[in-house]
Structure 1
């Protein structure tokens, strides 16, 4: 846009020569030729085309002397391409036209010289401005790219930190469960035994109710401790680490795992998915000739999804069966039936496809709060 303004100013300044000359067809034709050349110079970036068109236009001034009035605009294109030799040739030809003029030679020479210097200054200013603008755009792009990379690294760090915090939380739950089981549980067991011994040797009827209440309270405390320990242990299961361990230990064929689930997965779903993955890997090794297997665990806003498939050959129908179990052996049928029961107990659906390999597709809805 700046180059259009510069060339427009130079062409406009050339019209000041009309103050001492009347416009004629030669002036109008020279203006149109200069305008066409400037348009070509702006649209195309081929310096060779600029050189050829500019030399043709300058040579045309031998037939149209008025064309020398628009030489500064033509020189602007040459300055833009750093073609200084054609500028010198045009300057010589311009001087020839000025000498050939019948009057106002000095004024015409000074005016064209001033416009030529102005053309050079405008071109240099625009060139520097464009370079600064390119540097600014490059700096802005680099800054944006670095910000994106930094944001991605921060996201990965936060995700890694959350994963480590989650793993540490599960380990701490396991440690607390062990401490309660090993220390408090043993103390309560000892207290229950001592209470039972005291009841056995007690001969005073006044202490019977006291010992009975004490024994009842200790047993209730033991039951509560066991429930808490089991809950802590169940909640401390890390689904991702467990599934990674199962797939890494599976030696029958390579298993590709795609895990995309959050941290807060209900323990019932954890144990359901772990059991189904164990049974599926066992079925693949015993009943399939698969060379590849794929396991996908994904969490959606309203449901949990598990997909297990392989490329092995299976017998049976190739149609999709929802809630129906078809297998090539009694043991495999029992395993699939157990999977179906587990999924249905969580109000989920089980789909089995045996057309191209074997595929299990399980969805379990989330509980609505």
Structure 2
């Protein structure tokens, strides 16, 4: 059998059904014991009362009610001998339902039966009662084991959910690290192409142009040199376009924000990114503003938590950064206001405002009112015309 394959089917434990079967067996065995006494109306009444007592003991939900039913059955057994045949019902209930007061008191009515001269009936009822005690103890142990297994199952299920959540977190973290590594590699390749191949092509163009000037415009080789220069110019433009594409692809605003927000020292940040890929200028501005806002919140506002939200709307992108630091402490020497100007704001707020307004957007810094401490940085960026 495989380690993860299900085992053989096992009948689940059903407490009420198993106790009903046990009581049926005890009632069936009690009938021959009852016949050891003279048969009469009392025998029929004893059988019917035993059936009713078994049902009442099972349906009752409180221990005092069960004790009262069992005591009534044992009291009748002490007075009328045929009822002693069903004292096993009370003995079974005492052990199955953990009725401490009756676990050892049930044989007392059988002593009265023996004193009345029904020794055989008393002996048979005592043996049946001992069997009932064993069956009741087994039913009790099964119920306790079922509860223990249920608790164990719940604990295993909870642990499995925790491990699954950790596995998802690790997978997301791994994907983020892989994506960051890919973006870093793209940026490195772009730098290598720009610094090496681009410079070599530029030097080749200059050398070809210098050779053309040295040979003169009328020389036959000049036309060939011009063709080579044109080819090198085309190659240089192609390399530049490829470098720009690689560099643009290396900027993933969402990944960069996740790395910045989750790993910013001193501030526990959360990111809500509800937008498609941001255009490169807007992405760079968003990263710069978020970095400055988190730095100000940690250094000047002593913030512990920050929330960054990037939301895309039909005509613009919205950036909101909220922290729980000291309100109005976005930058040293800055004045808290809803509209940031160079005269009233510090360098940090001025820099963030200039980045937003350079792209045609808006910027504001607002202290949060009580009971919410901290401050809010709010910026909008209009979409490029083709995207809008």
TM-score (norm 1): 0.70
Aligned twin of 1:94: 110
Query: 2: distance between equivalents of 1:32 and 1:117?
Result: 19
> Offset of 1:330 from its aligned partner?
5.7
> Residue in 2 aligned with 1:44?
62
Q: Give 1:231 shift.
A: 3.2
Gaps of 5+ in 1: 249-253, 318-324
Where in structure 2 are the equivalents of 1:202-221 lying within 5 Å? 202-203=215-216, 204-221=218-235
User: In the TM superposition, what is the alpha-carbon distance from 1:201 to its structure 2 partner?
Assistant: 0.6
Q: Which one is further off, 256-265 or 183-192?
A: 256-265
Question: CA 1:20–1:52 in structure 2 vs 1: closer, same or farther (change >3 Å)?
Answer: closer
The question of whether the paired residues in 2 share the 8 Å contact of 1:293 and 1:309 is answered with: no
Q: Structure 2: how far apart are the matches of 1:66 and 1:38?
A: 20
Please list the CA deviations of residues 290-309 of structure 1 after superposition, one character each: whole Å capped at 9, or x if unmatched.
34375433467989763223
The CA distance in 2 between the partners of 1:165 and 1:207, in whole Å, is: 52
Partner of 2:377: 360
Deviation at residue 162 of structure 1 after TM alignment = 1.2
What count of residue pairs does the alignment treat as equivalent?
346
2:153 corresponds to which of 140, 151, 154: 140
Alignment match, 1:320: none
Cα 1:307–1:74, aligned 2, differ >3 Å: closer, same or farther? same
Q: Residue by residue, what CA displacement relative to the aligned partner does 1:19-42 show, whole Å, maximum 9, x if unpaired?
A: 9222489748954984587258x5
Q: Which whole-Å CA distance do the structure 1 matches of 2:41 and 2:382 have between them?
A: 89
Q: How many Å separate the matches in 1 of 2:126 and 2:43?
A: 23
- Work out the CA distance in 1 between the residues paired with 2:360 and 2:117: 104
Residue 249 of structure 2 corresponds to residue 232 of structure 1: no
Cα offset, 1:235, TM superposition:
3.1
Shift of 1:144: 2.3
Asked if 1:158 is matched to 2:171, the reply is yes
For 1:134 and 1:156, the matched residues in 2 are separated by 33
1:234-292 deviation line (CA, Å, top 9, x unaligned): 433461477359954xxxxx54422355998445243121122255468779xx96343
Deviation at 1:233, TM superposition (A): 2.9
SS at structure 1 position matched to 2:87: helix
Aligned alpha-carbon RMSD (Å): 4.7
CA distance in 2, matches of 1:39, 1:294: 57
| 8 Å contact kept, 1:174–1:233 | yes
- Residues 259, 149 of structure 1: CA spacing in aligned structure 2 closer, same or farther, 3 A cutoff? same
Greater CA drift, 10-19 or 223-232 = 10-19
Describe the superposition over 1:195-239 as per-residue Cα deviations: whole angstroms up to 9, x where unpaired.
Answer: 121121123443333322322332232233233223323433461
Partner of 1:312: 327
CA 1:330/1:82 → structure 2, altered by over 3 Å: closer, same or farther? Answer: closer
User: Which residue pairs with 2:12 in the alignment?
Assistant: none
> What is the alpha-carbon distance in structure 2 between the residues aligned to residue 199 and residue 71 of structure 1?
124
Q: Matched residues in 2 for 1:25 and 1:245: separation?
A: 80
Q: In structure 1, what is the Cα distance between the partners aligned to 2:168 and 2:213?
A: 65
Distance, in Å, in 1 between the alignment partners of 2:360 and 2:23 is: 79
User: Given that residues 306 and 362 in structure 1 are in contact (C-alpha distance below 8 angstroms), is that contact kept between their aligned partners in structure 2?
Assistant: yes
More helix by share: 1
Partner-residue secondary structure (3-state), 1:43: coil
Q: Shift of the alpha carbon at 1:168?
A: 1.8
Give the alignment's TM-score, normalised by structure 2: 0.67
Distance 1:255 1:73 in 2: 69
SS of residue paired to 1:90: coil
Aligned residue for 1:360, secondary structure, equals: strand
Question: Is 1:259 aligned to residue 271 of structure 2?
Answer: yes
Cα deviations by residue, 1:309-354 (Å, 9 ceiling, x for unpaired) = 353235446xxxxxxx454736668646535436756xxx867544
